[in-house]
Structure formats: C-alpha cells, structure tokens
Amino acid sequence: MSLTLSMDFQYTSTIEKVWSALTDPNKLAQWITENDFKPVVGHRFQFRHQPYNGWDGIVEGEVTIVDEPHRLSYIWATGDEQHTVNWTLQDLGDGKVNLHLEQIGFSNVHGLEGAKYGWSTWTVELEKVLAQ
C-alpha cells in the first residue's frame, strides 16, 4: 500500500522567489534543515536533521525533475521509507503564488500524518524566508 500526501500553500511573493527558497541550499537551511541540495537532475543530496531517538537524522535524496520555476521533484529516503516529493508552482497573479506539494510513497497513515505536520511547520518557516 502506498499513500500520498497532497497539500497546497499560497504565498504573497513572486514565483522566482518561491523557486529560490525551494532550490537554494542556504534558503532551504533556513526553513527545513542543513543540506547540500543543487537543482540539477541526478544530483544526490542530503538533508541533515538533528539525530533523534536512534535515527541518524540523515535523509538521502536525488533530484529527478527541474523545470524552473514551475516544477521540482526529488526522491528522498530514510530508513525503510522512500518517497517522491513533487513541488508545483503556479503564479496566481496579483503577487500570489500557489505552491503544491505531493509526497508519494508512504507505507502507513502514521508516516503520512507525521509528514503533514512536518510540512505544515516547515512552510510557516518558508513564509518567513519569503518575507526577507
């Protein structure tokens, strides 16, 4: 069984600024965690969180799609879980941008709910990065 998380977020910003927050490793570090991300198809990267409860804090990833500034996709894995994370950006006009997140590959509802909580927290931080 594979479950999918789908969420939408609206920001008052430019599509270029939101794209930069998704792809610039320094900006990603401000709203998610330390990383060595590059928006290049095939690039392997790590998100490095604080170790927690026996987990080393490392999320391994690989970029699969870069269609600037509209679509970004990567695979990431930790433990026995591997997910595809898809971002789709849409300029809504009037200085508004819709950011759609789709995360595919959850093996259980507990993981999906945890990710929903995590992204809800992180995207509040993203809003702060966009305000800079």
**CA angle 39–41–46, rounded 5-degree value:** 60
pLDDT tens digits, residue range 32-63? 999 999 999 999 999 999 888 888 989 999 99
Give me the pLDDT at residue 126, please.
97
Structure confidence at residue 27 as a pLDDT band (50, 70, 90): very high
Q: Per residue in 61-86, pLDDT tens? A: 999 999 999 999 999 998 888 999 99
Nearest to 23 by CA among 50, 45, 49, 55: 45
97-117 tens-digit pLDDT: 999 999 999 999 998 999 999
